[in-house]
A and B are shown apart, each in its own frame.
Chain A
Amino acid sequence: MAKQIIMDIKDFSFRYAGAPKPSLKSINLPVYHNKITAMIGPSGCGKSTLLRALNRIHDLYPGNEYKGEINLLDLQNDTYFNILKLKKENELIRLRQRVGMIFQKPTPFPMSIFDNVAYGLRLAGVKDKTVLEEKVTTALKGSAIWNEVKDRLNDSAMGLSGGQQQRLCIARAVALRPEILLLDEPTSALDPISTGAIEELVSELKKELSIVIVTHNMQQASRLSDYTAFMYLGELIEYNKTDKIFLNPKEKLTEDYVTGRFG
């Protein structure tokens, strides 16, 4: 079965508003369906910048410059469309419902656990209480946090621990059944046990959606991902199957980074 590309990044360049030089230069990166793609590289290499372009969240801060294409597959009629061309707010909203994002710092909203998970659903227009309950329960179960919160769904989400809050954020995102989930260093603020729980969760989620994860922890990339992209100073240096990158990288720069000989 041929590998299906869910998001095709073609010759993509990006410049922040008012920056003298582009932060990303001519990136070519196919993201494969139902696979975990990791992006690694030293600080400032542009991996988070690239991730945040995939759901157009840079648009919150006006003045940024895009070049090239990021083509998202429409699973229904099997065609691609360039997400960089979207301009209207409701088109961008629709994009973000298909491409979810989890941040480094867990971001529970100041409301109950139930309302947190239901938030995206309510934004999308789901009003029926039974439907909401069912979707929230499914999302919480699928995020390995149901047992810990099932008796306190109406309690404030702020009372959860860091690892629980992050799993809540994941539940919140998957409640919308997105096709792609973007994870920006999701475990760097968590302890090893919570990290392990979230890695197992991400590994499971791969069956239902495609995942792109930015991590500064190379072992996390090697453990979890199917494909790894190594970036440096805004350029994509090497992109290949994970076992090739960590066993047999082609580029010296990649090898230096992976063996810890950088800097």
Chain B
Amino acid sequence: MLTNYKEILDKSRRRVLALASDVLTAYELTVAASREGDPEKASEARNLLKDAHNRNSKIDNEIIKTLALFSPEARDLRVVIAYLKITSELTRISDYIRSYAKKVKMQISGEMELSALRDDMNSFLESTRKSLEAAIASIEAESEEKLENLYRKVNVEESKCDDIISILEKNILQQICVNPEDAEDMVEFIKSIRKLERISDRSVNIVKLAYFAQKGGKLKL
């Protein structure tokens, strides 16, 4: 294998993994910020991901160059296409995390009565985290067995997130009925949770892409 071909493939892989790792770190920071009431952590999370779109473009351009110059085939081709799409998913996820981190900062500085929703919220955040973790592990995984396990895991966590979101929304609507003056803030809150919910959806996509890269078949997201 030509050294420059190998190098460019390795470079793309490193970049994707670095972005993925930063996404997970930023998510965990944001959740911690919310739990501990620490706006610093939320800022740090936003900072970590502020370049996500640029990094996405860099990865995209490198992959386009790889396709033009080296005509990859079989697994190499699938991996490179998967990286292209996984990066896109990761960038969207980073957008959700950044907007949630912004809300968290406002939440901490402002006043919102949310203690009743605390438990559900924590479960939701934890399931989202697990799905994200599974997705990022799948980018590096190579064995069919491992990938299938991660696929199962991410699907489980994603349906949990779906369920909890419905419960949360019901509870919030009840809260609005009880305290109509909080309606505006509550609606904002629902919006930001909705966005977070998309993280687990996209995590499922990432695992499907990782599976496609290693095992082939037809792409179906």
What is the interface of chain A, defined by CB distance below 8 A to chain B? 199-200, 203, 219, 222-224, 242-243, 246-247
Contact = CB atoms under 8 A, between A and B. Distances in A.
Among the interface residues B65, B69, B70, which one has the most CB atoms of the partner chain A within 10 A?
B69
Among the interface residues B4, B5, B64, B68, which one has the most CB atoms of the partner chain A within 10 A?
B68
B2 interface: yes
Contact of B65 (A199, A203, A219, A243): A243
A223 B70 contact: yes
A243 B69 contact: yes
Interface string B62-104: 0011001111000000000000000000000000000000000
Interface of B: 1-5, 64-65, 68-71
B65 to A, nearest CB: 5
A222 B68 CA distance: 8
Contacts of B3: 200, 203
A205 to B, nearest CB: 12
A222 B64 contact: no
Contacts of A200: 1-3
A20 B64 CA distance: 45
B69 A242 contact: yes
A222 B70 contact: yes
A203 B2 contact: yes
Contacts of B4: 203
A222 B69 CA distance: 5
Contacts of A222: 68-71
18 contacts: A199-B2, A200-B2, A200-B3, A203-B2, A203-B3, A203-B4, A219-B71, A222-B68, A222-B71, A223-B2, A223-B69, A223-B71, A224-B2, A242-B69, A243-B65, A247-B64, A247-B65, A247-B68
A199 B5 CA distance: 12
A72 B64 CA distance: 36
A16 to B, nearest CB: 35
Given A200-B3, A243-B69, A246-B68, 7 more contacts: A199-B2, A200-B1, A200-B2, A203-B2, A223-B69, A247-B65, A247-B68
Nearest to A202: B2
Contacts of A243: 65, 68-69
Nearest to B67: A247
Nearest to A199: B2
Nearest to B3: A203
A-B pairs, top 5 by smallest CB distance, nearest first, are: A246-B68, A222-B69, A247-B68, A219-B71, A243-B65
A222 B67 CA distance: 10
Contacts of B65: 243, 247
A118 B108 CA distance: 81
Contacts of A246: 68-69
A219 B73 CA distance: 13
B132 to A, nearest CB: 34
A27 to B, nearest CB: 25
B40 to A, nearest CB: 43
Among the interface residues B1, B2, B70, B71, which one has the most CB atoms of the partner chain A within 10 A?
B2
Contacts of A224: 2
B76 to A, nearest CB: 13
Contacts of A247: 64-65, 68
B68 A223 contact: no
Contacts of B5: 223
A246 B70 CA distance: 10
A203 B1 CA distance: 11
Contacts of B70: 222-223
Nearest to B69: A222
Contacts of B71: 219, 222-223
Contacts of B2: 199-200, 203, 223-224
